[in-house]
Structure 1
Amino acid sequence: MIDRKDSQSVVIVSQHYPPDKSGNASRIHDTAKHLVTEGWDVTVLAPPPAFPHGQFDRSWSRKMTRENDGVTVHNLWAWQPTEEDPGFVSRMAYYLLFPLHALIWLLLNHRGVDAIITSSPPIFTGITGLPFGLFSSTSWLVDVRDLWIDASVGLGFIEEGGLAERISRRYESWVLSTADRITVTTSVLGDKLAEQYGLDRDIIVHLPNGVDTDEFEPTGSVSEPTIVYTGNVGHAQDLESCIRAMSRIDHPDAKLKIVGDGDIKGDLEKLVQEEGLNESVEFTGLVERQEVPKILDEAIIGIAPLKSDESLEYAVPTKAYEYMSYELPVVTTGIGEIETLVEQSGGGYHVANDPDAIASAFETLLADDEKRAEFGTNSRQHMIERYDRGVVAKKLSATLQEVGAA
């Protein structure tokens, strides 16, 4: 049971936390660490590490507890898919069993907890906070990073207008209307939630993903002509167009380095073979989180290629912030917030989801040292001023204090 201390206590419920290798795992870690600095007693509930799927051994321990940067982390047992691309039943078991276990833990240990933050997606983490939002004075914040239902429909995982979508939307509406505050990573995301579910805009707070600008700081070393992608190799990313672009550039030493793993990595590896790009495209697989800064330091261009889909117009991948903090000029695709970030920062090129357009951006940046330096300087300054995770955590702490006082 959590003992009440002079500091206030917050429990963060997240499907991913290091050593999971995802953008949100690192984001939740940094958020928790900075909240400790702001004077909060922070506990994180997460399942055993299992993402990307197929990269971790399955654990059967009911609970594993550790201290990490002043944060108490409880890994609560849940089903852990071991296949690279799990089936529907395995995914749902992973998504549902963890929040149910987290709810049981909170019901048994809720004394002394001043606030709960549930991070979505997956949307099922809201199960953990619902009873407290309905029947308790404990503050509940729902952290929304993604229009998960819209993306699932847009990518063909669930049928538009079908039973699964209707049930999911009713559940999400219930969760969001019950929470004390809803934090969103982009303004477009907040607008869409308010419009779709008729929410009071006063309870929606914009807290961007951000980046630890001290950790992601360039060293000024000489870099190879490497174009880098770091993160989930999944269905929402248009890495296929980026790979095809490599066959269209006239720069024999240039290499596209894809760092990470995910559902479509095997398909992309086949494409590289078919296109004869083995010398131009490298798959590193998963790497330790602490290796990512070094990889970025050795590159000269970062790519954040989202598919051009309305269901993704709110999205800005964490990797984009990390590239920009490292003074890498960025090449992005997609629609909506990702384009706005590039325009406001002056940190790169936003182009169409077309191999020729992507190749043209690559060619320009590979050939122009001054343009890369200009974009890189603009990018880092923009991150320091608006997106540093310490700055974002201060705003989150203030929001928690405000809700608690109310």
Structure 2
Amino acid sequence: MRVLLISQYFPPETGGPPNRLLSIANGLREAGHEVHVLAEKPNHPEGVIREGFREGVFNERTYDGIPVTYTWVYTDPEKNFLKRLAFYLSFMVMAVVGALRTKGDFDVVLASSPPLFVGLSGWLAARLKDAKFVFDVRDLWPDLAVAMNELDGTLKIWLAKRLEHFIYHRADAITAVTNGFCEAIQSVTGLDTPVQRVMNGTEPHIFQRDEAGKELRDENGFDDRFVVTYAGNIGICQSLDHILVAADRLEGGRPEVLFRFVGSGPVKEELQQEAERRILDNIEFHPRVSLDEAAAHMAAADALLVPLAAHEIYRSFIPSKLFDSMAAGRPVLLSVDGEARSILEDAEAGRYYPAEDGQELANSIRWMLNHPEACTEMGENGRAYARTHCTREAQAKRMTAFLEELVDQAASG
């Protein structure tokens, strides 16, 4: 089976989307299939194409043994609606051109979104390459963009929904990362289009960094502190300002609690300014680090935060950070109701608190301070659950089996 994988984000860019697609590509290769990837020239999050990728329109490289065509995209460090649109549309066009440049036909074109425009690239590439078109949905767009106030105006929303429905109806099959997403998609496509859940996952060996965590605690001198860490994108949809409320509530009565933010994002500066305004001495901000370093920061924590904003749409989300946090072997403080909460409670790996509720977060941390043995057990439970149910390897095998079945049915039909 020859698979053309189209994703705007792919290593050496870092984060959940690139790592997910790398694991899928590796899973397909390990099953004996041929994979070629089309991705943008790495520029995230700086908005500047990295050194070594700036020559030419296309760069043909190999990453981890996988042939990759990196395409030029419009980038700009300053982002607004029009610049983001140009960014997405430029990749949509260049991905189709890149597909034309690849040799031979393919059995499957797997296009992973967001952005939604990647779906158009995948559909056109599949027609050009005489392939089945499979659309991989990691976020529900445009619904998420509307919830985050990134997309407004009746006409814009209507056009985006029309595009979403157009792509869904032209896909031969669809994969999505949660059951909630699958149900929403199936309500549009009907039962004739196969829709399969292929979750995000984790790589447990990356996050088993207990010794590195101890060293980091020693270096920073907070062995006597109860460290609560958020590691990741400091963005709008996480709604992290309630953590400052919790820090404010705990600073006087429980001075041993230390909150640490590790990462970067559009609201980081605003959070830092608010922490300074509140004169909070129990909060630290650290820059974005490599995945390996982030795993050490997570291992150095006593509890890990996995928050999202208080919006109904997030009930259908499972943050990939949940799997990584469980794999780190630390109890999780989760503020995402729905499927994510069910996983946490099934694993007995932490405590849920209502989204954006700083007081309840503070209460949950007080409970953890009073129940250290239970916290240790939660961490162990989470690590065991992640190893058994949430590995990227297992999800890659699930994707591979789904694509194999689709191609076999087409061949026999």
The question of a shared fold, defined as TM-score above 0.5 by the shorter chain, is answered with: yes
Q: Which amino acid aligns with 1:344?
A: D
Q: Secondary structure at the match of 1:107?
A: helix
- One of 263, 267, 279 as aligned partner of 1:276: 279
1:297 is matched with 299
- One of 361, 372, 377 as aligned partner of 1:374: 377
- One of 195, 198, 202 as aligned partner of 1:207: 198
1:327 is matched with 329
- One of 52, 58, 76 as aligned partner of 1:63: 58
Q: 1:74 to 1:136 in 2, by over 3 A?
A: closer
Q: Which amino acid aligns with 2:69?
A: H
Tell me, yes or no, if structure 1 residue 365 matches structure 2 residue 358. no
Q: Which amino acid aligns with 2:32?
A: G
Moved more, 245-254 or 389-398: 245-254
**Residues 250-308 of structure 1, C-alpha deviations (whole Å, 9 max, x = no match):** 3323322212211211211111111112x322222211122222222211211111111
Q: Which amino acid aligns with 1:241?
A: H
2:208 is matched with 217
**Residues 60-109 of structure 1, C-alpha deviations (whole Å, 9 max, x = no match):** 431223222221222210012213xx111111111110121011111232
Does the 8 A contact of 1:218 with 1:327 survive in 2? no
Alignment partners' CA distance in 2, 1:81 and 1:359: 39
Q: 1:25 to 1:283 in 2, by over 3 A?
A: farther
Q: Which amino acid aligns with 1:14?
A: S
How far 1:205 sits from its partner (Å)? 0.3
**Residues 332-357 of structure 1, C-alpha deviations (whole Å, 9 max, x = no match):** 11332222222222111111121110
Moved more, 185-194 or 223-232: 223-232
Q: 1:209 to 1:371 in 2, by over 3 A?
A: same
Q: Secondary structure at the match of 2:382?
A: helix
1:3 is matched with none
How far 1:10 sits from its partner (Å)? 1.6
Q: TM-score, normalised by structure 2?
A: 0.89
Does the 8 A contact of 1:209 with 1:318 survive in 2? yes
Moved more, 323-332 or 368-377: 368-377
How far 1:244 sits from its partner (Å)? 1.8
Q: Secondary structure at the match of 2:228?
A: strand
- One of 385, 391, 398 as aligned partner of 1:395: 398
Alignment partners' CA distance in 1, 2:48 and 2:303: 28
How far 1:33 sits from its partner (Å)? 2.4
How far 1:366 sits from its partner (Å)? 3.5
Q: Secondary structure at the match of 1:262?
A: coil
Alignment partners' CA distance in 2, 1:368 and 1:35: 44
2:179 is matched with 187
Q: Which amino acid aligns with 1:219?
A: D
2:15 is matched with 22
Q: Secondary structure at the match of 1:172?
A: helix
Does the 8 A contact of 1:245 with 1:356 survive in 2? yes
Q: Which amino acid aligns with 1:215?
A: I
Q: Which runs of 5+ in 2 are unaligned?
A: 218-222
Alignment partners' CA distance in 2, 1:322 and 1:371: 20
Does the 8 A contact of 1:133 with 1:178 survive in 2? no
1:347 is matched with 349
Alignment partners' CA distance in 2, 1:201 and 1:366: 52
How far 1:110 sits from its partner (Å)? 5.3
How far 1:198 sits from its partner (Å)? 3.7
Alignment partners' CA distance in 1, 2:25 and 2:345: 30
Alignment partners' CA distance in 2, 1:45 and 1:255: 43
**Percentage identity across paired residues of the two chains:** 26
Q: 1:4-403 to 2 correspondence within 5 Å?
A: 8-54=1-47, 57=50, 60-61=54-55, 62-83=57-78, 86-109=79-102, 111-133=104-126, 137-159=130-152, 162-195=154-187, 197-200=188-191, 203-219=194-210, 222=214, 224=223, 225-249=226-250, 250-277=253-280, 279-352=281-354, 353-403=356-406
Q: TM-score, normalised by structure 1?
A: 0.91
Q: Secondary structure at the match of 1:208?
A: coil
How far 1:243 sits from its partner (Å)? 2.1
Moved more, 394-403 or 147-156: 147-156
